[in-house]
Structure 1
Amino acid sequence: MSSEPHTADYRTLIADSQSLTIATCTEDGTAEVSYAPFLAYENTYYIYVSRLARHTGNMLHQGRASIMFIEPEAATLNPFARQRVTFDCRVTEIEKQQVEYGQLLDMLQNRFGETVGILRSLADFHLMALTPTRGHYVAGFGKAFSINIDNSNL
């Protein structure tokens, strides 16, 4: 695996996405997958998720998740070679009393509209920060790259 990804390619893939796929793990080790709309800001991905969703509880208890952005099937001729970028992430909750809480929700609302405004009134929603600790970009067959998180503007 090379260590020099084509940063413009994976950044475009992320920029063209409105949601990310989330892989989490239950306390007993059961893998679960879901998705959420996201906001990318200062090398962190923010999601606003319900406590009723299993992935939220998993992230709150485990403090980690893996996320993926993947090329749409319609954009490729070969479904085995879809571009994708994955990040292992440290997960922290942004508490309502934190200064950035309102600012980040305002940015989410600017990105996704009034649905976020409605969700803000629900007590079971949590603002989660997913901060990458390790990343990989697959550009196609034989084109896999490690992403240097320390030197990357994700």
Structure 2
Amino acid sequence: MINVHFEGDNRHRLEDAAGTNIGWIRGRAIGFVGLRDEHDAMTTVMALWEPLQTALAQHFPGRPHHVVHRSRLRLAHDGAFEWITDEQLPLARFYRGVGEGKGEGSAIEFALPSYANEGVVISVAHVLATALVTYRATLKRTMPKPRAAREREAIA
């Protein structure tokens, strides 16, 4: 379950079911925190790109669909922002040094089209946040446990 909390005009906070802050909505931008580094940000963008395209297509039929190729992902700087791009299209803004807590070193932000109104942005944010929570849960299940944790389980 995803909670969207109103924080002012065109400003919302996104939380997961445990009440953990996972992101924001600012105007037509949807951002997510809790990324470790560039690699984590790029893999997260890849995981959220298809849900983003599907959600936008539901609201705007006929909208062009851009296929992203993992091998082309790069960081690029346009003078104002650092972007994750596939060499053809800027996919998401990349922010370093976001958050105070452990594991919140980076963030990504998707910029929705200028014709997306607040209702569309909130709907798409809900889809993306749900996909992010699912993606992170999948990572937790598939990542090997640290050696110390395996040893504690073996003793117990």
Give the TM-score, by structure 2 length. Answer: 0.24
Q: Which has the higher helix share?
A: 2
